[in-house]
Structure 1
């Protein structure tokens, strides 16, 4: 291998090994920070509810806005 490829491979390996902690679940002392209102995906819950209602009225379907379900359509 040439030297630039070896350096690039080493950098990618170090990045991959250093990023393993990114996929770990939050620790108990970190959950307070994640529960802050500023961490919400929707800043205004009422506006998000209105947009969801409008979207599903136009799509002629309901549900699918939250997390959960098996995906088989039987629940």
Structure 2
């Protein structure tokens, strides 16, 4: 029983040691490579922005998009 306990303690210590030194996994200069256009939700961002603008103007309000402005379409 003591061997199983020793193995479990070593396993927990090894798992905890993996989290001991947090380092940024993605360096600031590596983020450019991760901002690949293939990772975007929309393939054509310009037309998606246009459709979103037209929808906002027609609705007369903005909904949780994080942009400020009036409902008249003038930003």
- Select the structure that is richer in helix: 1
- Structure 1 length-normalised TM: 0.39
- Structure 2 length-normalised TM: 0.39
Q: State the structure with more CA Rg.
A: 2
